[in-house]
Amino acid sequence: MAVGNGAPVTVQSMTSTDTRDASATLAQIRRLAAAGCEIIRCAVPDRAAAGALQEICRESPLPVVADIHFDHRLALAALESGANCLRINPGNIGSERKVAEVVAACRERQVPIRIGVNSGSLRREDALRWGGVTSRALAESALREAALIEKCGFGLIKISAKAFDLATTIGAYRILADQTDYPLHLGITEAGPLIPGLIRSSAGIGALLLEGIGDTIRFSLTADPVEEVRAGRELLQAVGLRAFGPVIVSCPTCGRTRIDLFSLVEEVTRAVADLEDPSRFAGVKIAVMGCVVNGPGEARQAQIGVAGGDGEGIVFREGQVIRKVKAAEIVPALLEELHKLGR
């Protein structure tokens, strides 16, 4: 899976299982892959986890990033087990000799290193030098870590510099984008529960993507990691960087609504998710509107859509009504029109 150098921005997540349980970890990876995840990261806290990576890497449908802290021997063991990438912070795995040993092993296998700096792992001297957890402190710390790897003659590097504070994170990535050409992994660290975390991550990651900054992303949510993947894909579609399938446009309802729009939207969403090959309809906008009065006009930019009335609905294309159907026939009629577009 290519990252950077013009490759499409990729969606990542991290397993929440015990890595030592290879079976459970692989089951979760397969679930994430089915949801559209493209790169997966696994924590490697000890030797047992590093050993389990052998089966995980062999059987995983996704490239596996081994997340290492403090012990360079775990990084070496993860490489022996077939890890496709290491996530390390060179400053916390020991002396320059140990860093050089890890880099040499990566160079031999051509395995990239992701430098991960965040507000929780920022070294005390960096915080003191730059006045706390600031954008400059995060960016300069990441660049200093990159220099340690470069000193060993290796350049397959990715960088992340994340904080919980949006302005701090955005500022750090702007500095990095200005000072290095290394691929950047975007995220808001420890973003929170599902809804607050989605909003915080979308605001931060989305702002950077719209500036042309970022090569791979992860939503760090206190939730099922599948939600991270769904969110990442939706964001990439929203900012116009990727198109994975149809986009559903729906109104928020008002006093004119004469149909159970919430249920109708859920039904359309399930039907779209069950499409055999959603990529055939990538970028197609499907409008699901609550009234026949303003629905087609408000959703004129959608290729196809439906609008509900009393016990019935209308199907429209490019804002023009093409037929009227009973309420029970709305979704089948919509799918029929969708498949015409996919021919």
Core vs surface per residue 239-266: b (16+ CB within 10 A) or e: beebbbbbbbebbeeeeebbbebeebbe
Among 270, 278, 203, which Cα is nearest to 238's? 203
* Residue 52 backbone phi and psi in degrees, to 5: -65, -25
Separation between Cα atoms, residue 337 and residue 328, nearest integer Å: 16
CATH superfamily of 247-341: Sulfite Reductase Hemoprotein, domain 1 (3.30.413.10)
* Residue 121 backbone phi and psi in degrees, to 5: -110, 5
Q: Evaluate the CA torsion angle 207, 225, 44, 55 in order and state its sign.
A: negative
Residue 5's DSSP bridge partners are none
CATH class given for the domain over 10-238:
alpha beta
CB 44 within 8 A of CB 69: no
CB 53 within 8 A of CB 81: yes
Q: Evaluate the CA torsion angle 35, 187, 120, 67 in order and state its sign.
A: positive
Same fold, 10-238 and 247-341: no
CB 274 within 8 A of CB 282: no
Among 158, 163, 161, which Cα is nearest to 142's? 161
Separation between Cα atoms, residue 242 and residue 221, nearest integer Å: 22
User: How would DSSP label each residue in 238-283?
Assistant: HTTS---S-EEEE----TT--S-HHHHHHHHHHHHHT-S-GGGGTT
pTM of structure: 0.89
| Tens-binned pLDDT, residue by residue, of the chain (343 aa) | 778 888 999 999 999 999 999 999 999 999 999 999 999 999 999 999 999 999 999 999 999 999 998 888 999 999 999 999 999 886 777 677 888 899 999 999 999 999 988 877 777 888 888 888 899 999 998 998 898 899 888 999 999 999 999 999 999 999 999 999 999 999 998 888 999 999 999 999 999 999 999 999 999 999 999 999 999 999 999 999 998 888 888 888 887 777 788 888 898 888 888 887 888 888 888 888 887 666 667 667 788 888 877 778 888 888 788 888 888 888 898 888 888 876 5
> Hey, where are the domains in the chain?
10-238, 247-341
Separation between Cα atoms, residue 209 and residue 228, nearest integer Å: 17
Residue 66's DSSP bridge partners are 42, 86
